[in-house]
Amino acid sequence: MRIMFMGTPEIASSVLEAVAQTGEEIAAVVTQPDKPKGRGYNMTPPPVKVTAERLGIAVSQPDKIRTEEFARYLDEIDPELIVVVAYGKILPKFVLDKPKYGCVNAHASLLPKYRGAAPIQRAIMDGERETGVTAMYMDEGLDTGDMILTRRVEIADGDDFFDVHDKLAKAASEAIVETIGRIKDGTVTRTPQPDGATYAHKIEDADMVIDFSCGAKRVYDKIRALTPSAYTKTPDGKRLRIVAGEYDAADGDGGECGQILSVSGGRIAVRCGSGTLYITKCQPEGKRAMGAADLVNGRRIKTGDILG
């Protein structure tokens, strides 16, 4: 089967690798353009490009795909199936209609929950104990197509974004390989999505701000969902990213929301709306990530300070 693969980040790279290992013909890979990253703003290729080049597969990185130029490129590749994993753009109808066997997608949620751009982060932020991958046929809507199969994944209490991402990457690889097999042997089925859709909107800067008036469990879930981007501010107004922590849902005595209750045992205890958050690893503005004890020893923070 002549396949075109479209994807960009690490999870897509894992699926591309799995499809390549099946021996199917991957005629081309389409991914996002290189982007500047880091302090030096060096142009950095997306993970899918790196994997495709290592596998010896031709790569295209169009700025836009709703163009005549991309339509001609699609005619030239003439794929029988298009596999899409976190490509980053909605496909126009002429792309969806091109392949004989359609366009299939691995979406990182149990649809119809968490349609949209940030399903992994939103599921963890919401305290979900389970998520998964849905292999589906694509249509013109946002993750609204008919479902083919699902793979369920546990979200353990200590899992952060990277832990859940790696579990989903494995599940997505298995789901797409099985989907391709079903299409080839004629056993693939289509199931319309049920009612009850929810949306996982793109993570904005406002989502990254920690609100200590929430319960400690909810604060903890945000930290692990957005690792290492969730932040508060120290009394001098500088950002403090909370990289890792623990929580106690039981209410203690005294303190206002965001107040540091103690700085001992390698943990910084912070009062929340209910319960206590214990910061174990953090990253002050302009500094590298460090243990909570190092932050305290550097005299950047002390008992009684208010965060946020």
**Which residue segment(s) compose the domain that 250 sits in?**
205-297
240 phi and psi angles, rounded to 5 deg? -130, 105
Tell whether 180 and 62 lie within a shared domain.
yes
Listed residues 185, 216, 247: the one ending a domain: 185
Q: Is residue 200 part of a domain?
A: no
pLDDT confidence tier of residue 301, bands split at 50, 70 and 90:
confident
Confidence (pLDDT) at 297: 85
Q: Is residue 63 part of a domain?
A: yes
Tell whether 114 and 224 lie within a shared domain.
no
Tell whether 171 and 293 lie within a shared domain.
no
- pLDDT, tens only, 207-224: 999 999 999 999 999 999
Query: How far apart, in whole angstroms, are the C-alpha atoms of residue 65 and residue 90?
Result: 9
Listed residues 155, 185, 215: the one ending a domain: 185
- pLDDT, tens only, 111-133: 999 999 999 999 999 999 999 99
Other Cβ atoms closer than 10 A to 120:
22
Tell whether 176 and 222 lie within a shared domain.
no
Does the pLDDT value for residue 42 go beyond 80? Answer: yes
**Tokens, residue 111:** 């649809």
Tell whether 11 and 145 lie within a shared domain.
yes
Q: Is residue 93 part of a domain?
A: yes
Tell whether 242 and 143 lie within a shared domain.
no
Q: Is residue 92 part of a domain?
A: yes
Which residues pair with residue 134 across a beta bridge?
107, 150
Confidence (pLDDT) at 38: 75
Rounded to 5°, angle at Cα 208 from 15 and 124: 50
- pLDDT, tens only, 242-295: 999 999 998 777 789 999 999 988 999 999 999 999 999 999 998 999 999 898
Q: What is the CATH number of the domain that holds 36?
A: 3.40.50.170
Tell whether 167 and 215 lie within a shared domain.
no
Tell whether 35 and 163 lie within a shared domain.
yes
Tell whether 162 and 243 lie within a shared domain.
no
Confidence (pLDDT) at 52: 98
Q: Is residue 195 part of a domain?
A: no
Listed residues 153, 185, 217: the one ending a domain: 185
Q: What is the CATH number of the domain that holds 245?
A: 3.10.25.10
Domain count, the chain: 2
**Contacting residues for 300 by C-beta, under 8 A, at least 6 apart:** 234, 284
Q: Is residue 229 part of a domain?
A: yes
Tell whether 262 and 122 lie within a shared domain.
no
